[in-house]
Amino acid sequence: MFGGARTPAIPDARGRALAGSIARLERVTLGGVPQWITLRGHRADAPLLLVLAGGPGASQMPWIHACDTALERAFVVVHWDQPGAGRTWRAVRDAATLTVERYVRDAVALAELLCARFARERLLLVGHSWGSVLAALVARRIPHRVQALVGVAQQVDADATDRLGWERAAAAARAAGDDATARRLVHQGPPPYAGRAMLARWRTLVSAQVRHGGTAESRAREALVQRRARAAPEHSWFDRLHATRAMERTFARVYPQLAALDLARDVPRLDVPVTLALSPHDLVVPPDAAVRWLASLEAPRTSLVWFERSGHVPQVSEAEKFAGMLEEVLGTALRA
């Protein structure tokens, strides 16, 4: 228990803690700073799966009980609250330290820590949205620790993709008869946003993208998971109290830095197998640039899996298919 936070045991058929399982909420030190992770799996000796959440400033840790059940049967699933996110909101004393390079170094340190602790050579690395950029940079730096890389809602060129997402959100709002939202988007204009209105404009855009992106099925599923996440035991009431403010501060500091990155230019080659999990209905990070990057990427193997019933978070909307895809990715990598 950490200030009222915990992760519950994985139960067996009788509701007792499953023998041989692992379910821990832990504080680790990365870059000299205390940070938080969860480790959950039916078998503590299962392959390692490290998940890098989107944002920046968001935590995927509260989602685990709604969408990680299948993953926990096959992997030891590790979620990390990055600096400025979730339980690690305390880790940011100086916002100037929030750089992309800091996140890369901390993620590398976490991967090394996990491999040493579990006596593994490699782990499966999954990144979602902003986390997919981070995962690509980590895989480039420590390919010897990455069995395979999976980019979910892969971000490649933030500026171009954000403008495309704005265009498609406005068009989708008009098509749905939501003229008020379309007018608001046109009035505020496309990203990038800056200045005092930056966060308000991002909230307007992302709200429209979530409302009009994906499918009706995925939107309902994602809304359910978000409701459950608000009561997730991994975050205490104190963490939840600070989460929104911390996320906004972190996003405002880190997201503009992505304008300097373009994976097509900066990461033309990776020495690990790469799979992208994309949805054609994703308006937050439309998949166009990711498809082009994958087609040009030099890597031992590349593959693309479409999630037709999803929006921005296929790991939530189609959780069973997502888990099956990760098992197949790992199996292919191990057989190579």
d(CA 38, CA 55): 18
| Domain presence at residue 54 | yes
- DSSP H helices, the chain, are 64-67, 69-74, 100-117, 130-141, 158-175, 179-188, 198-212, 216-229, 237-254, 263-266, 288-296, 314-317, 319-335
Residue linked to tokens 């099956």: 324
| Domain presence at residue 196 | no
Look at residue 3 in the predicted model and tell me its pLDDT.
Answer: 65
| Domain presence at residue 212 | no
Number of domain units in the chain: 1
Token pair belonging to 315: 């790991």
| Domain presence at residue 199 | no
Q: In which domain, by residue range, is 262 found?
A: 22-161+234-335
Average pLDDT value for the chain? 94
Length of the chain in residues, anyone? 336
Q: Is residue 113 a contact partner of residue 28, using CB atoms and an 8 Å limit?
A: yes
| Domain presence at residue 208 | no
Q: Is residue 30 a contact partner of residue 138, using CB atoms and an 8 Å limit?
A: no
Token pair belonging to 101: 């390079």
What are 175-187's pLDDT values in tens digits?
Answer: 999 999 999 999 9
| Domain presence at residue 189 | no
pTM for the structure as a whole: 0.96
Amino acid occupying residue 219: R
Read off the CATH number of the domain in which 58 is found: 3.40.50.1820
| Domain presence at residue 270 | yes
What are 311-336's pLDDT values in tens digits?
Answer: 999 999 999 999 999 999 999 998 87
| Domain presence at residue 299 | yes
Report the DSSP beta bridge partners of residue 51: 79, 126
What are 136-175's pLDDT values in tens digits?
Answer: 999 999 999 999 999 999 999 999 999 999 999 999 999 9
